[in-house]
């Protein structure tokens, strides 16, 4: 897992763009034209990734699932058997919480939304997400604990082995489908919902998408989103990873 993560970080932007800038410096005397090309692509790519407008327009291509209307929440019990919250990583050893691991901000956004859906509909909840580098607790356990403590929602099932979106779906099926539960509300980021829905449908679920955290709306950025922002680089990386994952899943699963 660490090796795969290391390779992925350098093959995907922004890591790849930094490598191009290093190549430009290395080749500046021996191959000046090639060095110039590497420099333009590397610097230009980083500049584009830093623009909120690029994030906004890129997200719109991925965020194809409409949000649930507020008046649909109470009626979810007629359309689904359970709510599934996909894990989104963890923050390790947060001193503010006595050194205990905590769900990431992205995971908390999913949990908050799923908690409201669960309270409105009465549907049971499954959290899904395994260990990071083999170190407990699992993402599913962290989410379950915080859902109870922060939102007053009891988790009915925890799927604690998955490491990818595909495994989220496959291992959730192992938990729910033997119980006759095949209709699920899937809660994840809007830009991640295409791949999530596809994965859950591939393993036999009927999916009600419940996307949250949309990036493709008009967020009223100064100067129409044409000024670089540090956060936009992270968001662009997430969207690029999702686009590659969406294609890869259709090719390999």
C-alpha distances (whole Å) from 184 to each of 43, 86, 101, 105, 123 are 43, 12, 28, 23, 10
pLDDT of res. 1: 55
Q: Mind listing the domains of the chain with CATH numbers? A: 2-62+228-252 (no CATH), 70-212 (3.40.50.620)
User: 134 pLDDT exceeds 80?
Assistant: no
> Is the N-terminal amide bond of 137 cis, ω within 30° of 0?
yes
Reported as a single tens digit per residue, the pLDDT across 189-247 is: 999 999 999 999 999 999 999 999 999 977 777 888 899 999 999 999 999 999 999 99
Averaged pLDDT of the chain: 94
Reported as a single tens digit per residue, the pLDDT across 101-120 is: 999 999 999 999 999 999 99
Query: Cα separation of 228 and 57, whole Å?
Result: 15
CB of 142 within 8 A of CB of 103?
yes
User: 4 pLDDT exceeds 90?
Assistant: no
User: 2 pLDDT exceeds 70?
Assistant: no
Q: Can you say whether residue 142 is alpha, beta or left, with left for phi > 0 and alpha for psi between -120 and 50 degrees? A: alpha
- Percent of the chain beyond pLDDT 90? 87
Can you tell me the mean pLDDT for 135-141? 93
> Is the N-terminal amide bond of 14 cis, ω within 30° of 0?
yes
User: 60 pLDDT exceeds 90?
Assistant: yes
pLDDT of res. 107: 97
Q: What are phi and psi of 185, to 5 degrees?
A: -90, 120
Reported as a single tens digit per residue, the pLDDT across 29-48 is: 999 999 999 999 999 999 99
C-alpha distances (whole Å) from 154 to each of 55, 122, 149 are 35, 11, 9
CB of 101 within 8 A of CB of 137?
yes
């Amino acid at each position: 897992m660490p090796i795969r993560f290391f390779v992925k970080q350098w093959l995907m932007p922004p890591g790849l763009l930094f490598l191009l800038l290093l190549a430009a410096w290395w080749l500046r005397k021996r191959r000046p034209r090639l060095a110039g090309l590497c420099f333009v692509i590397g610097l230009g790519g980083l500049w584009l990734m830093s623009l909120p407008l690029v994030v906004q327009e890129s997200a719109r291509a991925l965020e194809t699932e409409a949000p649930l209307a507020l008046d649909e929440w109470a009626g979810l019990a007629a359309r689904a058997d359970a709510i599934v919250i996909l894990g989104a990583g963890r923050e390790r050893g947060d001193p503010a919480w006595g050194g205990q691991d905590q769900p990431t901000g992205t995971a908390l956004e999913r949990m908050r939304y799923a908690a409201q859906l669960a309270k409105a509909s009465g549907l049971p909840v499954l959290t899904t997400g395994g260990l990071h580098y083999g170190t407990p607790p699992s993402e599913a356990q962290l989410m379950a604990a915080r859902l109870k403590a922060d939102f007053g929602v009891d988790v009915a099932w925890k799927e604690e082995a998955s490491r990818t979106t595909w495994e989220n779906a496959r291992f959730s099926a192992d938990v729910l489908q033997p119980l006759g539960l095949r209709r699920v509300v899937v809660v994840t980021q809007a830009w991640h919902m295409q791949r999530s829905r596809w994965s859950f449908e591939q393993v036999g679920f009927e999916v009600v998408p419940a996307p949250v955290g949309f990036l493709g709306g008009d967020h009223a950025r100064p100067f129409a989103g044409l000024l670089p922002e540090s956060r936009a680089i992270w968001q662009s990386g997430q969207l690029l990873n999702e686009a590659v994952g969406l294609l890869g899943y259709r090719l390999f699963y």
